[in-house]
Amino acid sequence: MSTQPYEGAVAAARSVLENVSADQMDRQTPCASWKVNDLVNHLVGGQHFFLAGLKGAPPAGADADYASGDFLAAFDEVTSEVSEGFSADGVMEQMFKLPFGEMPGSALAGLAATDTFVHGWDLAKATDQSTDLAPDLAAGLLQASKQAIQENFRGPEGAPFGPEQSAPDGASNADQLAAFLGRKV
């Protein structure tokens, strides 16, 4: 597995992040308990989580308030480090211990790509931007998600994924992915 899905997800999320303004921070998002500022913090903080996982370190960055500063620069800096980490020789085959289990680097890269992409979608939806993000990448992430996400990963808030939702006829690949991951499109 290459780093291309992760890098594509970063590019898609970044294209949304760069259009988020300070006056949008209190808006609700498709993630029921998060406003835009919480989602920005999670999107940047999540990259620190993936970086810590790659380094074999405890999770870090979840409590920082990126939304009140230059969150785009913070996102660029950490995603560059994560991308470098995923690009290192042997990383895709190496096993990584995370708080919720152990997985190979290829699975961690897939998780990072999907998480980054779908939270970019959430942010686009919350800030009235187009949710038709990276159609080819979205199709690939949807296919991989359908193979990887088991029903026992779904549930009410607090579970990794909500119940699958239906996407309207003609929905974009990104909208279909969001619906599969439990978002109302």
Task: Determine, yes or no, domain membership for 145.
Answer: yes
Task: Determine, yes or no, domain membership for 16.
Answer: yes
How many residues would you count in the chain?
185
Count up the domains in the chain and report the number: 1
- Asked if pLDDT for residue 159 goes beyond 70, the answer is no
Question: What is the percent of the chain where pLDDT is above 90?
Answer: 82
Structural domain for 84, as ranges: 4-180
Task: Determine, yes or no, domain membership for 170.
Answer: yes
pLDDT, tens digit, for every residue of 36-82? 999 999 999 999 999 999 999 988 777 899 999 999 999 999 999 99
Mean local confidence (pLDDT), 86-103: 93
The pTM (predicted TM-score) of the whole model is: 0.94
Domain holding 118: CATH number? 1.20.120.450
Mean local confidence (pLDDT), 172-181: 97
- Asked if pLDDT for residue 96 goes beyond 90, the answer is yes
Task: Determine, yes or no, domain membership for 185.
Answer: no
- Asked if pLDDT for residue 100 goes beyond 90, the answer is no
